[in-house]
Amino acid sequence: MSPSYADTTDKLAEDVYFYLDFNMRMKLARKGLLPQVTQLEFDQVSDCSTAEWKSMLLKGHCVITGDHFNKKTPKEGLLVTKQLHSLKMKPGSKFAVHVNIFKELGQQMESIGESLDETRQLVLLLGNLTDE
């Protein structure tokens, strides 16, 4: 006897839930926010009532909700591309700060599915520098 459609969809939904849960836990672990979100009981090592703990918890929840609501739409790709092309280094600012902003925009481009090869990255980065 073959499994029914309802059993199949329940199994599929269950598999997708665990896949999404695992991916979110890995993302939070990479950002160092997993203990704040997953810890349910109070322990003596980390005081859950401190402002630092609460801010890290909020950051963790923001990552979860942001990942849930960010869609990989063409409009999102257009907005990130526009930000990347309109990025200009402010006079008197440090080069490292500009490179970090550029890297974040590059990661956003990759997260929506558009890759930036090294040549394009170099052209955009050099085009965004000031004359100083």
- Pair of tokens at residue 53: 């703990």
A 10 A CB-CB count for 83 gives 14
Q: What is the pLDDT of residues 70-103, one digit of tens each?
A: 555 666 778 888 888 888 888 888 888 888 888 8
Calculate Rg over the CA atoms of the chain. 21
> Among the three residues 47, 69, 91, which one is the final residue of a domain in this structure?
69
User: Does residue 6 have a pLDDT over 80?
Assistant: no
Residue 19 lies in a domain: yes
Alpha-carbon distance of 105 to 88, in angstroms, equals: 13
First to last CA, the chain: 75
Alpha-carbon distance of 103 to 106, in angstroms, equals: 5
Whether the full predicted model's pTM is greater than 0.75, yes or no, is no
Q: What is the pLDDT of residues 15-49, one digit of tens each?
A: 666 666 777 777 777 777 666 566 644 454 555 56
Q: Identify whether residues 60 and 80 lie together within a single domain.
A: no
Region of 113 please: left (phi>0), alpha (psi -120 to 50) or beta. Answer: left
